[in-house]
């Protein structure tokens, strides 16, 4: 061991003494081959530069996605457990808990293609063919409601797709920006002394202290408790159709408020004329229907079981579910934390009914 240490020191000394050769190198190693360079040079730019030939459809993408991605990211990009969510999250970026997804947050489609091609599936990176990456990217667009189910993505139409949040990304060219200003950069001995001018807590990037957070959570749980209990207490075999309030009886102001609150649902649900299944089932005629009862939608086992166990959507069951989806239907795949404000729930129910729900 001592011997090799000595050798190491010796070669370090030799290295230091090695003269720079005429070609600017040190006479070490060899030039990378074209194949090696090509294997590294896989970045794709927003305008599509760097993309290989190829194409893939939403339809094909769904199949590959189910096979290789859904275990972690969920069938609909809603995520399993704490793996990243890939779909939805619209209108949440300025909220307390932004849901940053490909659809709500990412700037360019090239970011998606490049990332999936480079890094996914997690643990088996770069195992996908180019066509598979095209088709999965198309499917992720579909999950985010950005293309229809007959869409096919190819090198040719790639640059035509823009993601909704693109314009929120821009170069920070302010004079005072530490990153982009044209200030001359110092590369050696830049500061005589280092002074700490700010800490993360002050910059407000770390959550409030743990005690405050816990108190908040406890308060939230207390508020939800009565609802969960209500849901449990409800008699199970209430399968006969529930009377639905006539649309005329609905308070227009409430319906209007509900339209706003429904933005939380829009990434996944449609209701009204022409509503289609998206990440979640369409909500037309949902009231009076057993949970998980819409033909042609792939519910979770949990939701199907709830319906078979007698859960029917009425004002009370819907309110409880919307307040705390995972408490009322544990293991539902509706990746939604619940509606925070009580008054939004009444408004949502009115809005859904007013639109044929
Ligand atoms: C074993 C679990 C697993 C599988 C399977 C998997 N991923 Fe991921 N995925 C992850 C993890 C973990 C991250 C976060 C990685 C990180 O931040 O470094 C991630 C991140 C992502 C992201 C970025 C999400 C974001 O907003 O930051 C995308 C897009 C993505 N995966 C797509 C896919 C696709 C497409 C597949 C299938 C080809 C796939 N993943 C398969 C675990 C997985
Ligand atoms: C991130 C996507 C997502 C969001 C956001 C979301 N949902 Fe869902 N929702 C789903 C999915 C997926 C299901 C199917 C759940 C299952 O099968 O377990 C579902 C199921 C439902 C059901 C049961 C439907 C049935 O036929 O059984 C209702 C009702 C519902 N959602 C209402 C809402 C409302 C109202 C909102 C907004 C406050 C909302 N959801 C937000 C994805 C979402």
Task: Give the tens place of pLDDT for each residue, 326-340.
Answer: 899 998 988 888 898
Number of other CB atoms surrounding residue 63 within 10 Å: 14
Per-residue pLDDT of 236-247, as tens digits, reads 333 334 344 456
- Please check the confidence at residue 322 and state whether its pLDDT lies above 90: yes
User: How far is the CA of 65 from the CAs of 6, 139, 172, in angstroms?
Assistant: 54, 8, 36
Q: Which of 273, 345, 285, 276 is nearest to 315 (CA)?
A: 345
- What pLDDT was estimated at residue 221? 46
355 vs 170, higher pLDDT? 355
Whether 255 lines ligand 2, by a CB cut-off of 6 Å, is no
- What pLDDT was estimated at residue 27? 82
- Please check the confidence at residue 53 and state whether its pLDDT lies above 80: yes
- What pLDDT was estimated at residue 237? 38
- Name the band, by pLDDT with cuts 50, 70 and 90, for residue 342: confident
Of ligand 2's listed atoms, the one at least distance from the Cα of 279 is 12
Q: State the Cα–Cα distance between residues 284 and 270, nearest whole angstrom.
A: 8
- Name the band, by pLDDT with cuts 50, 70 and 90, for residue 287: very high
Q: State the Cα–Cα distance between residues 337 and 216, nearest whole angstrom.
A: 15
- Name the band, by pLDDT with cuts 50, 70 and 90, for residue 58: very high
Mean pLDDT value of segment 282-298: 94
User: How far is the CA of 306 from the CAs of 75, 225, 309, in angstroms?
Assistant: 20, 20, 5
Per-residue pLDDT of 156-197, as tens digits, reads 999 999 999 999 998 777 777 666 555 677 788 888 888 877
- Please check the confidence at residue 77 and state whether its pLDDT lies above 90: yes
Number of other CB atoms surrounding residue 292 within 10 Å: 21
Residues 310, 326: contact at Cβ < 8 Å? no
Rounded distance from Cα 321 to ligand 2 centre (Å)? 9
18 vs 263, higher pLDDT? 263
Of ligand 1's listed atoms, the one at least distance from the Cα of 136 is 35
Whether 303 lines ligand 2, by a CB cut-off of 6 Å, is yes
Q: State the Cα–Cα distance between residues 101 and 145, nearest whole angstrom.
A: 12
Testing ligand 2's pocket by substitution, the residue of 267, 269, 287, 318 carrying the most ligand atoms inside 8 A of its CB is: 269
> What percent of the chain has pLDDT above 90?
56
Q: Which of 285, 290, 300, 284 is nearest to 334 (CA)?
A: 300
């Amino acid at each position: 061991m001592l011997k090799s240490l000595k050798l190491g020191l010796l070669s370090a000394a030799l290295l230091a003494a090695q003269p720079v050769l005429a070609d600017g190198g040190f006479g070490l190693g060899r030039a990378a081959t074209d194949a090696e360079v090509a294997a590294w040079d896989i970045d794709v730019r927003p305008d599509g530069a760097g993309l290989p030939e190829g194409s893939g459809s939403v339809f094909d993408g769904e199949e590959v996605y189910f096979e290789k991605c859904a275990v972690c990211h969920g069938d609909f990009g809603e995520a399993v457990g704490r793996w990243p969510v890939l779909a939805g999250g619209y209108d949440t970026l300025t909220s307390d808990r932004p849901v940053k997804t490909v659809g709500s947050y990412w700037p360019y489609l090239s970011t998606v293609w490049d990332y999936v091609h480079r890094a996914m599936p997690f643990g088996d990176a770069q195992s996908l063919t180019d066509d598979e990456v095209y088709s999965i990217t198309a499917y992720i667009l579909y999950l985010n409601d950005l293309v229809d189910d007959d869409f096919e993505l190819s090198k040719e139409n790639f640059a035509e797709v823009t993601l909704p949040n693109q314009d929120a990304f821009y170069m920070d060219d302010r004079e005072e920006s530490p990153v982009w200003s044209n200030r001359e950069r110092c590369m050696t001995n830049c500061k005589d002394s280092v002074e700490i001018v700010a800490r993360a807590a002050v910059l407000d990037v770390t959550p409030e202290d743990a005690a405050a957070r816990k108190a908040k959570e406890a308060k939230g749980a207390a508020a939800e408790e009565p609802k969960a209990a209500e849901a449990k207490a409800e008699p199970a075999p209430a399968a006969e159709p529930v009377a639905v309030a006539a649309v005329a009886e609905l308070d227009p102001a409430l319906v209007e408020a509900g339209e706003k609150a429904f933005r939380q649902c829009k990434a996944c649900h449609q209701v009204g004329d022409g509503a289609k299944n998206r990440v979640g089932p369409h909500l037309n005629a949902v009231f009076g229907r057993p949970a998980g009862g819409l033909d042609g939608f792939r519910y979770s086992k949990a939701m199907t079981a709830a319906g078979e166990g007698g859960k029917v959507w009425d004002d009370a069951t819907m309110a409880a579910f919307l307040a705390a989806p995972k408490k009322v239907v544990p293991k539902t795949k509706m990746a939604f934390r619940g509606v925070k404000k009580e008054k939004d729930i009444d408004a949502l129910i009115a809005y859904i009914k007013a639109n044929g729900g």
